Amino acid sequence: MRIVAGSHRGRILQAPPGDAVRPTAERTREAMFNVLTHARWTADEGSPLADARVLDAFCGSGALGLEALSRGAAACLFLDRSQTALDFVRRNAAALQEEARVTLLRSDALKPPPARTPVTLAFLDPPYGENLTVPALTALAGHGWLAPGAIVVVEADRRDPFVPPDRFEPLDQRSYRYTTVHYLRYQT
């Protein structure tokens, strides 16, 4: 698995062994970031990546947040309840020399602590088939993790029904093989 574009393009990322983590495929990640960069709903505001404060919830290997840093985000907070996942994120960030822009938080996205600073871009890639997306979005919003107008990118199994909770405006939706990616804007 590699960083697709930006300052770390081509750099290799490591993921925990086994089935506990399902890293986003490079092609899907590339497509996600292309949508973020070129979508008509970003035209008036510029790229949501430029100087973004990013949250990578259910971070696994950290591929989404590290890709965002490579493409111009200012900082990323990686949230996962697995210490093993966070250890891999730490190693990946060190290999990219990004420790200064990375914060690790061992916590459950369904029960997060209050945010210190809200983020402007969030990625959620929860385990498939467990219906965690809506409760996580609700919990993160309720604990101040999302700035007004924040863009939220949700990766889900194509077979899982998804209806965004109140205050999350659907912007776009794309399907890639087994995955559907939902793009939302958080409205306060």
> pLDDT tens digit string along 75-113?
999 999 999 999 999 999 999 999 999 999 999 999 999
Tokens 């994120």 belong to residue? 89
Whether residue 20 is predicted with pLDDT greater than 60 in this model: the reply is: no
Q: Which of these ranges, 8-12, 67-71, 123-127, 134-138, has the smallest mean pLDDT?
A: 8-12
Residue 43 confidence (pLDDT):
57
Does residue 6 lie within any of the structural domains?
A: no
Q: Cβ neighbours of residue 14 under 8 Å, at least 6 residues apart?
A: 1, 61, 88, 91, 92, 95
CATH number (domain holding residue 56): 3.40.50.150
Whether residue 42 is predicted with pLDDT greater than 80 in this model: the reply is: no
Domain limits for position 93: 26-186
pLDDT band at 12 (very low <50, low <70, confident <90, very high): confident
Residue 45 confidence (pLDDT):
67
Residue among 33, 39, 80 at smallest CA distance from 52 = 33
Does residue 60 lie within any of the structural domains?
A: yes
Does residue 3 lie within any of the structural domains?
A: no
pLDDT band at 167 (very low <50, low <70, confident <90, very high): very high
Whether residue 145 is predicted with pLDDT greater than 90 in this model: the reply is: yes
Domain total in the chain: 1
Query: Which string of b and e fits 26-45 if b means at least 16 CB within 10 Å?
Result: eebbebbbebbbeeeebeee
| Structure-model confidence comparison of residues 7 and 33, the more confident one | 33
* Residues β-bridged to residue 77: 55, 103
Tokens 């840093």 belong to residue? 69
Per-residue model confidence as pLDDT tens digits over 149-159: 999 999 988 88
Residue 142 confidence (pLDDT):
97
Percent of the chain with pLDDT over 70: 93
Average pLDDT over residues 37-51: 76
Residue 116 confidence (pLDDT):
92
Residue 136 confidence (pLDDT):
96
Does residue 19 lie within any of the structural domains?
A: no
Does residue 20 lie within any of the structural domains?
A: no
Does residue 18 lie within any of the structural domains?
A: no
